[in-house]
Every structure is written in C-alpha cells, then in structure tokens.
Amino acid sequence: MVADIHLGNVSKTFPAKAGKVEALGGIELDVARHEFVSVLGPSGCGKSTLLRIVAGLIPPSGGEVLVHGQPVDGPSSKVGIVFQSPVLLPWRTVLQNIELQVEVRKLDRAAFRDKAHKLISLVGLEGFADSYPYQLSGGMQQRVSLCRALIHDPSLLLMDEPFGALDALTREQMGLELQRVWLETKKTVLFITHSIAEAVFLSDRIVVMSARPGRIQEIVTVDIPRPRTLDAMKDPRFHQAVDRARKLMNAAGLPE
C-alpha cells in the first residue's frame, strides 16, 4: 500500500545572515494510513519545519515529499493543521470559527453545518457552539481548533505541539480525547510534542530527531493496544518506550 506520507532524503536549508542554516537533512520516513506518528527532538531541530514541508506551506530544499503518492506542491485539502496556539478569531463564535475553514476553502457552509455540530460534540463541546473564544478555557479553545482542522475531512492531521500551552492535567485529558477522535475518524496523524510521555501514550511510532541539522536518530515503536487508558502508563512497555526515547533525547544534545 502507498504510504500516506513519504519523505525521501528530505533536506531544508534556510538563508541566514552568516551563510545558511541547515535545518533538516537526510529525512527518510513513511507514515502508513491511519498511523499515529509523533516527532520528538530538541528545540530548533526542525520539527516545525518538517511539518510545514508536509503541509505544503514551505518547499523542501531537496528530496521527495509525497502525500498519498502525489508530490506536495502547496497547501492541500487533504491536510488539516493544528498549531500550538488555537488562533481563533475573537469576534466569531465557536461554530463560526470552525466554519472559517469552510469559507477559506470556498466550500458550501450550509453543507458542512451538520458536520460542524457532530465534531463539536465529538470533542465534548456540546452547548458551546454559540460561545465566543473568551468564554472558553485554553483546552476548550484547542478543541475548537481541532474541529476547525477536521471540518473539511482531511485524511492527514498535522499537529505542532497542540497541547504545549496547557496545564499538565488538561493536557492528559486532551491526549485521551485526541485518541478517541483519532480512533473514531481514523486520520493519519503526524504529531509534534516536547513531552516524551505524551508521545508514547498517543503513538504507534515515535521519530526521535537529533539537534540541528535535524536528522532522524531512531524510530521507537510503541506496541500497546488501544484504546489506551491512563493505566497504560503503568504498562512495562510504556516505560520501555519512555526510557528509550529519553536516552535518545539525552544523546541528541542541545542545539547550538
């Protein structure tokens, strides 16, 4: 089967004052359909750059990037993105913020109304469709941005530290919710995080990167059946994966 995401020898170099910055080099990765893959690595190792390349927001400097076997040459409706901050428009309600994605993509808003309400209840925001962002907690706002990323039914969900700004307990809760949404919608997910435990809890595989220039050090497989409850964190396989990822992260070193 063709991988949902294929990265072949992908590199990225940015121009800088003193020459250039080599952000990524020699990235080889295939993500299968419905797989949940996390990316861990020191700050500045190129995680967001990698995600932006897959999303078609920036081109790679070299190598091959395929989504569903097709070369990526710009933003695509196959992709939904969630960033660290929810970036909701304060003057729009929850429903209207979700519908923004439909408007931007010039799709028929009425046709997506039911879908929007279904997503709102899927992420546990029933009763908040007409609320404004300031009336929601950070976790609730991030749920809205998850709905916004899913409304046009992309097959790939790209998430760049989506829970990074949340407190530890809310973050755990969001992890559980994301697992539920993922099990229900069966998206292919590429998920960037700084939390080793979060990566292990959510993922099929964890890509651990080294410091700049970002390269893949090792891919850690997490073989724990789903759905995973918080008790999965007591599973010896959970600890093994956390230990392995932590060792690799320590070996990755600090960015220059």
Ligand X SMILES: Nc1ncnc2c1ncn2[C@@H]1O[C@H](COP(=O)(O)OP(=O)(O)OP(=O)(O)O)[C@@H](O)[C@H]1O
Among 21, 100, 129, 232, binds ligand X (CB under 6 A): 21
From the centroid of its chain, how far is CA 237? Answer: 23
Q: Which residues of 94-127 are buried (b: 16+ CB within 10 A; e: fewer)?
A: bbbbbbbbbeeeeeeeeebeebbbebbebbebee
How far apart (Å, rounded) are the C-alpha atoms in residues 115 and 129?
12
Nearest residue relative to Mg ion (C-beta): 48
Among 9, 14, 105, 130, binds ligand X (CB under 6 A): 14
Task: Choose the binding region for ligand X from 44-52, 63-71, 74-82, 129-137 (rule: CB under 6 A).
Answer: 44-52
Q: In the complex, what is the shortest distance from the CB of residue 138 to ligand X, in angstroms, rounded to a whole number?
A: 18
Q: In the complex, what is the shortest distance from the CB of residue 209 to ligand X, in angstroms, rounded to a whole number?
A: 7
Give rounded-to-5 percent helix, strand, coil for the chain: 40, 25, 40
48 binds Mg ion (CB under 5 A): yes
Are the CB atoms for 157 and 188 separated by under 8 Å? yes
Structure tokens at 63: 């190598």
Chosen from ligand X, Mg ion, none, partner binding at 183 (C-beta under 5 to 8 Å by type): none
46 binds ligand X (CB under 6 A): yes
Name the residue with tokens 């007409």.
130
Q: What phi and psi values does residue 66 have, to the nearest 5 degrees?
A: -120, 140
> Closest CB to Mg ion among 95 and 209?
209
SS3 142: helix
Chosen from ligand X, Mg ion, none, partner binding at 86 (C-beta under 5 to 8 Å by type): none
SS3 38: strand
45 binds ligand X (CB under 6 A): yes
Q: In the complex, what is the shortest distance from the CB of residue 41 to ligand X, in angstroms, rounded to a whole number?
A: 6
Are the CB atoms for 198 and 171 separated by under 8 Å? yes
> Closest CB to ligand X among 47 and 228?
47
Among 8, 44, 56, 124, binds ligand X (CB under 6 A): 44
Task: Choose the binding region for ligand X from 45-53, 75-83, 140-148, 179-187 (rule: CB under 6 A).
Answer: 45-53
Which residues contribute to the site for ligand X (CB under 6 A)?
Answer: 14, 21, 23, 41, 43-49, 212
**Which residues form the interface with Mg ion (CB under 5 A)?**
48
